[in-house]
Amino acid sequence: MAEGPEELGVDRLLWLETNAAELNGVSTTKGCYVGQENTARMHFRGKVRKRLMVATVSGAGDIVRAGDQAAADVVLHAGDQALLLMRLDYLDAPLTLGGAPATLLRPAWLTA
């Protein structure tokens, strides 16, 4: 669970990219809330293309790669774990950070 500006940034992420819907942190049926237009549009069109994910890493750098393609941006790196803004197209691809393997830690509640 990401929290605060260090992990979520300021104007960097959209609410659904933070896994808020999966954690019951957003409702598309209640009244007004900040970011409602973008959130509702993304939800109903199925346009979430990135998500915050945690990975075990041994390398260093700012970009996780799937082959020669950029698969994720490193949001925060602490020890052997990194918080990534992961492109969903690469969830099942072999990943590397700085040339070293990176392994996504996918919680059971996160289906995509």
Position 110 scores a pLDDT of 72
The answer to whether residue 24 scores a pLDDT higher than 90 is: no
Query: What residues does each domain of the chain span?
Result: 1-48, 50-107
**Percent over 70 (pLDDT), the chain:** 55
Q: State the DSSP string of 9-64.
A: -SSSS-GGGGTTTTTT---SSSS--TTHHHHHHHHHHT---EEEEEEEESS--SEE
The answer to whether residue 35 scores a pLDDT higher than 80 is: no
Q: Which of 37-46, 49-58, 102-111 has the highest mean pLDDT?
A: 49-58
Per-residue pLDDT of 64-111, as tens digits, reads: 999 999 999 998 898 999 989 899 899 899 999 999 999 999 888 776
